[in-house]
Amino acid sequence: MRRNFIILCIIALLAFSAAAFVLCGKYINRPDAAISDNSLMQVLKAKKLVLGLDANFPPMSFYNSSGDFIGFDVDMMKEVCSRLGIALITKPINWDAKEDELNTASIDCIGSMSVIPSSIRDMNLSESYIKEDLIFVVHGSSKAKWLRDLKGKRIGVQSGSTTQEALEALDIYKDLSAVLYDDNLAILKALKPGELDAGLVDSLTAYYFIDIEDNEQYFVLGESLGEEDFAIGFRKADKTLRDKVQEIISAMKADGTLGEISQKWFGSDITIVK
């Protein structure tokens, strides 16, 4: 009787061990187990990095009179790719669909991505590299000086942007007539013929536009809707690519290359990379 009991115990133990082995094997080979991040290796193997950019966001990214796509973001990422030994492919995108472009792998990353709670949640962002303000611009013929003067006015804002979110959050939003545009530059150009009474735009583009418009006067209202940082946006899982790009940008800041690029586009080093 005792011998039979021992044999049964041994059989039960062996069965348990076999089950545990199978379970462990399933755990180890589970299809949803952690997969290594090969985002950096993919761009190195492809020998290119595709950067999504706003097509009309001077001086960050825009077409010049010769049809060349240029800007601060373009120059910065060209240098990054040069140090990686790969080519930079710039892809102008519909800013309202930027997340779809990124998540469908149409692009590898996004330039001048606003550092806001939604992008922090949904993307893997680089460190911030430039800071700007969200400002209201009016034509020189306008009598508006303050935000309160815009009640009942037509305000241009970029569709799908943080400026649109900021405008909609205003207490006086219900008293405004918001007009959506594809980009900041189109908004600023609409001020001259009087299509708009004011434009809520990024300060970097506004000051660039005002500087090159020698024959027209434009004014910036005395109130802004706050500061905003820009970063490079990557897919949430693409940590190795994000970290390598960040490493290079930080090295560019340290050796002065980033400052030289900023000097070219802004007249001084306004970058905030640590």
For 150-192, how does the pLDDT look when each residue is reduced to its tens digit (9 = 90+)?
999 999 999 988 899 999 999 999 999 999 998 999 999 999 8
Residue 193 has pLDDT above 70, yes or no: yes
What percentage of residues in the chain have a pLDDT greater than 90? 76
Higher pLDDT residue, 23 or 89?
Answer: 89
How many residues are given for the chain? 274
So what's the pLDDT on residue 25? 37
Domain topology for 39-131+229-266: D-Maltodextrin-Binding Protein; domain 2 (3.40.190)
> Which candidate, 197, 241, 232, places its Cα nearest to that of 218?
197
Per-domain residue ranges of the chain: 39-131+229-266, 133-228
pLDDT at 166: 92
* Topology match between the domains 39-131+229-266 and 133-228: yes
| pLDDT class of 35 with cuts at 50, 70, 90 | low
- Tokens of residue 59, six digits: 């001086």
Q: What is the pLDDT of residues 72-131, one digit of tens each?
A: 999 999 999 999 999 999 999 988 899 999 999 999 999 999 999 999 999 999 999 999
What is the pLDDT at residue 227? Answer: 92
Q: Tell me the whole-structure pTM to 2 decimals.
A: 0.80
Cross-strand pairs, 83: none
Looking at the domain that runs over 133-228, which CATH code has it been given?
3.40.190.10
Contact 164, 157 (CB under 8 A): yes
Instruction: Check residue 216 and give its pLDDT.
Output: 84
Confidence of residue 242 (pLDDT cuts 50, 70, 90): very high
Reported confidence tier of residue 11, pLDDT bands at 50, 70, 90: very low
Average pLDDT, the chain: 87
